[in-house]
Structure 1
Amino acid sequence: MIEEEQPEGLSSRKLVVETVKHNVLTAYNASDGMDLLKRFPNVDAVLVHARQLHKWPGLLADVREFCPGKPIVLASPFAEESRPEVDFVVDSHKPQALLKLLGEDLQS
């Protein structure tokens, strides 16, 4: 989970993911997130908050390079935001959307 530097957003999304029995690695910025992925590349999925893309424009390509074949989830306040580099987009303000994704889409 690569999130913005707002601990309350990260904490709430982390709890949502842990609710459905996933372990969570967290980073407050893209650089730390990439370091985590280099150390622990065997993740189930990578969740990136959209604000990180303004700070590191090539972040999604870098994530794809280090974790090929792993789903990339974009958390965005604009759930309709579509990007070819991501597999799923969830509304960052609706935890039920993330729960649904984790429970259904990532399992298939």
Structure 2
Amino acid sequence: MRSLVVLMIEEEQPEGLSARKLVVETVKHNVLTAYNAKDGIDLLQRFPNVDVVLVHSSLLRKTPNLLSDVKERCPGRPIVLASPFADECRPEAAFVIDSHKPQELLKVLGEDLQN
């Protein structure tokens, strides 16, 4: 399995590590993190060749156009939406995963994106 560069955009205290980040790094992927939409877009401008962008749905309340902005800056790159509502539908997202089930993210990064 090839190592991916994953940009995670999700709200969390900067001094805390995301459980999702730890899980992804454990399987040897590289992770860039942004704790708000503005920082996420700034990171995309600096590192446009990420392999996949994960956005937590909680950010969409404050920044409803975030998925469109990511898609515009990274055309062709898959967007994974992590949501506590697994049935949430966003056309910009290639995948919607349950934010409480890290195994779903690993499946996307492993099987779905590597095949």
Query: TM-score, normalising length from structure 1?
Result: 0.93
- Answer 1 or 2: which has greater strand percent: 2
Change (3 A) 1:10 1:58: farther
Mapping 1:86-105, distance limit 5 Å:
86-105=93-112
Q: Say which SS state the counterpart of residue 79 (structure 1) adopts.
A: coil
Q: Could you list the runs of 4 or more consecutive aligned residues of structure 1 that deviate by over 3 angstroms after TM superposition?
A: 6-10
Please say if 1:33 is aligned against 2:40.
yes
Query: TM-score, normalising length from structure 2?
Result: 0.87
Please provide the CA RMSD for this pair. Answer: 1.6
The percentage of counterpart residues that share the same residue type is 79
Structure 1: unaligned runs, 5 residues or longer: none
**CA displacement at 1:14 relative to structure 2:** 0.4
Please say if 1:65 is aligned against 2:72.
yes
Q: Say which SS state the counterpart of residue 106 (structure 2) adopts.
A: helix
- Answer 1 or 2: which has greater helix percent: 1
C-alpha separation in 1, matches of 2:79 and 2:90 = 11
